């Protein structure tokens, strides 16, 4: 009879794989155990917390023989905090883990052969220092068990706050800013918001820094329209930390765990701070979406630009464009760029950012990519936008909508550049795009979210075509041949 596993069982297991969420996986007589805080190669003692028929979640009781990849986490809150999943793993092992995860998805879900995927891989780009890379931090404010006012992070899966004003992924200056705010609150007896009762004032502190300009924005998220002595707090903060260029108050009166409310008011200084990526300047307001790791973002976008192979004449669509970050990168090298994004405020930012940089060849549309693109494709007036040279997509985790993929295939751009934050949906979409018309030419991972399980990937697809008969005779590269034929067609 098969052995039955139950809650409370203590077992010895060797971890030999890792789940997408960063849980170590080990097998005990074929029964899978998912264990938090373990590293591939660890031999450990674990205790079952929740048992299912074929697998269980278990708690790490003791590492008997540590993996050669195991390191001591830099942050003493690594185990309790829900933020980083891979702190006990060496950074080299982390990069390998991420690249393998993407590779396996391309093979398993994309249907590509391992040999092919390996042959077109460009090595993962990691950071020199995988810490202090975040330009944005959102600290919840509350009370610890003894009733002390604290700022920190939610413990994994709960809303208990672990007091920590110096998260290792964020900037060192965050600590100074938070401690200044906490001491002001204590002195003025300003309360923190309590999720259980809905009472109290300060909910979160959001801090953002433009790395290239050094400008800092502090946004207080408050369960009210104003804060007592708010101007006094501003003058203390700006005196202590001169890099602060903007202080805002966002009112969130709702009983919700969505962090920000709809109303934002400037308390001191400017409404936005600025940052620069490879010479393109961006205005960032308290609520705008902006990539959190600017160093890796710049590298990733340069690669996307490289894959787009622009010469200055091309027409390009940038789908899921956000505030136009990739669009403006592309516009400097393209004939015309069309950006599409679902959030109207982001498009307003994109237009403003285009103006700020004197970029005139970018046009932006609000709407769903899967609706805007077919509308253009089916509208005879949009003739010049029908056959773009390049389409770039950077969708959220759920990937591209099928209608969007279908229209991209109809539009037949020469190249498609796909930037993805979820390799499972990337692989699923590539299977559709590469079924007939497109060929996967290259792929590369960029570690944007060091010490967490998330990973960005950028891939390049070229329009496929059956080799023409005279291809061998003229002896030129297939792509060049195709380009010549195209320009012949155009000049006819
Ligand atoms: N390319 C941008 C943003 C990428 S994040 C950057 O690098 O900064 C993905 C974006 O897709 C988000 O801004 C989100 O609002 C947008 N989005 C989500 N669903 C969408 C849809 N169906 N159509 C268009 N945009 C969408």
Query: 112-153: per-residue pLDDT in tens?
Result: 999 999 999 999 999 999 999 999 999 999 998 888 999 998
Q: Distance between CA 63 and CA 45 in Å, rounded?
A: 6
Ligand 1 atom with minimal separation from the 321 CA: 1
Quick check: 182 pLDDT over 70?
yes
Contact status, residue 211 vs residue 135, Cβ threshold 8 Å = yes
Asked if residue 392 has its Cβ within 6 Å of ligand 1, the reply is no
Question: 263 C-alpha to center of ligand 1: Å?
Answer: 22
DSSP bridge pairs for 416 = 391, 461
Quick check: 157 pLDDT over 80?
no
Helix (H, G, I), strand (E, B) or coil at 322: coil
Question: 215 C-alpha to center of ligand 1: Å?
Answer: 26
What 8-state DSSP symbol labels residue 453?
S
- What does the mean pLDDT of the chain come to? 91
Question: 289 C-alpha to center of ligand 1: Å?
Answer: 9
Q: Distance between CA 412 and CA 418 in Å, rounded?
A: 15
Asked if residue 448 has its Cβ within 6 Å of ligand 1, the reply is no
Question: 156 C-alpha to center of ligand 1: Å?
Answer: 27
Contact status, residue 103 vs residue 196, Cβ threshold 8 Å = no
Percent of the chain surpassing pLDDT 90:
80
Asked if residue 304 has its Cβ within 6 Å of ligand 1, the reply is no
Q: Distance between CA 267 and CA 387 in Å, rounded?
A: 48
**Residues sharing a CB contact under 8 Å with residue 220, sequence separation 6 or more, in sequence order:** 181, 202, 205, 227, 230, 247, 248, 249, 250, 267
What is the pTM assigned to this prediction? 0.89
Q: Which of 396, 404, 417, 429 to mutate to test the pocket of ligand 1 (most atoms within 8 A of CB)?
A: 396
Question: 373 C-alpha to center of ligand 1: Å?
Answer: 14
Asked if residue 425 has its Cβ within 6 Å of ligand 1, the reply is no
Asked if residue 224 has its Cβ within 6 Å of ligand 1, the reply is no
Name which residue sits closest to atom 13 of ligand 1, judged by CA: 322
Q: What is the pLDDT of residue 480?
A: 55
Q: Which two tokens stand for residue 264?
A: 């934002």
Q: Distance between CA 174 and CA 199 in Å, rounded?
A: 26
Percent of the chain surpassing pLDDT 70:
93
Domains, the chain, ranges and CATH? 10-65 (2.40.50.140), 117-124+293-491 (3.40.50.150), 136-275 (2.40.50.1070)
Q: What is the pLDDT of residue 191?
A: 96
Asked if residue 322 has its Cβ within 6 Å of ligand 1, the reply is yes
Contact status, residue 298 vs residue 211, Cβ threshold 8 Å = no
- Residues annotated catalytic, as ranges: 421
- Counted residue by residue, the chain has a size of 492
Q: What is the pLDDT of residue 146?
A: 87
Quick check: 188 pLDDT over 50?
yes
Query: 324-351: per-residue pLDDT in tens?
Result: 999 999 999 999 999 999 999 899 999 9
């Amino acid at each position: 009879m098969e052995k039955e596993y139950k809650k409370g069982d203590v077992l010895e297991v060797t971890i030999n794989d890792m789940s997408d969420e960063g849980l170590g996986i080990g097998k005990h007589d074929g029964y899978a155990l998912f264990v938090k805080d373990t590293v591939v190669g660890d031999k450990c003692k674990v205790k079952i917390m929740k048992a299912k028929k074929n697998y269980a979640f278990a708690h790490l009781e003791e590492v008997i023989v540590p993996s050669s990849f195991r390191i001591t986490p830099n942050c003493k809150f690594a185990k309790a905090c829900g933020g980083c999943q891979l702190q006990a793993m060496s950074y080299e092992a982390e990069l390998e883990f991420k690249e393998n995860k993407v590779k396996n998805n391309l093979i398993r879900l994309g249907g590509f052969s391992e040999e092919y995927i390996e042959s077109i891989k460009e090595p993962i780009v990691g950071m020199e220092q995988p810490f202090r890379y975040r330009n944005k931090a959102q600290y919840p404010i509350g009370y610890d068990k003894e009733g002390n006012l604290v700022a920190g992070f939610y413990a994994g899966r709960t809303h208990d706050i672990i007091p920590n004003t110096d998260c290792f992924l964020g900037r060192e200056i965050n600590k100074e800013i938070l401690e200044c705010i906490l001491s002001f609150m204590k002195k003025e007896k300003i309360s923190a918001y309590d999720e259980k009762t809905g009472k109290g004032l300060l909910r979160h502190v959001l801090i953002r820094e433009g790395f290239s300009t050094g400008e800092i924005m502090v946004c207080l998220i408050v369960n009210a329209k104003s804060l007592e002595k708010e101007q006094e707090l501003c003058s203390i903060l700006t005196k202590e930390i001169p890099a602060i260029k903007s202080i805002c108050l966002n009112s969130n009166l709702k009983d919700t765990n969505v962090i920000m409310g709809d109303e934002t008011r400037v308390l001191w200084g400017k409404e936005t701070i600025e940052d620069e990526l490879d010479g393109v300047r961006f205005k960032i307001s308290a609520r705008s979406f902006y990539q959190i790791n600017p160093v890796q973002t710049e590298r990733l976008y340069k690669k996307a630009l490289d894959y787009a192979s622009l010469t200055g004449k091309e027409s390009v669509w940038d789908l899921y464009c956000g505030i136009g970050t990739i669009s403006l990168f592309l516009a400097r090298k393209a004939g015309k760029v069309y950006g599409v994004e679902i959030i109207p405020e982001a498009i307003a930012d994109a237009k403003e950012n285009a103006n700020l940089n004197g970029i005139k060849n970018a046009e932006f549309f609000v709407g769903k990519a899967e609706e805007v693109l077919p509308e253009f494709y089916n509208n005879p007036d949009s003739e010049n936008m029908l056959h773009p040279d390049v389409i770039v997509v950077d969708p959220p985790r759920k990937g591209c909508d099928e209608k969007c993929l279908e229209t991209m295939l109809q539009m037949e751009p020469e190249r498609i550049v796909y930037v993805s934050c979820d390799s499972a949906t990337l692989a699923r979409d590539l299977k559709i795009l590469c079924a007939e018309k497109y060929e996967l030419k290259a792929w590369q991972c960029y570690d944007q979210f060091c010490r967490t399980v998330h990973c960005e990937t950028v891939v390049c697809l070229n329009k496929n075509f059956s080799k023409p008969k005279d291809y061998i005779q003229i002896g030129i590269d297939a792509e060049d041949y195709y380009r010549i034929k195209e320009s012949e067609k155009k000049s006819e």
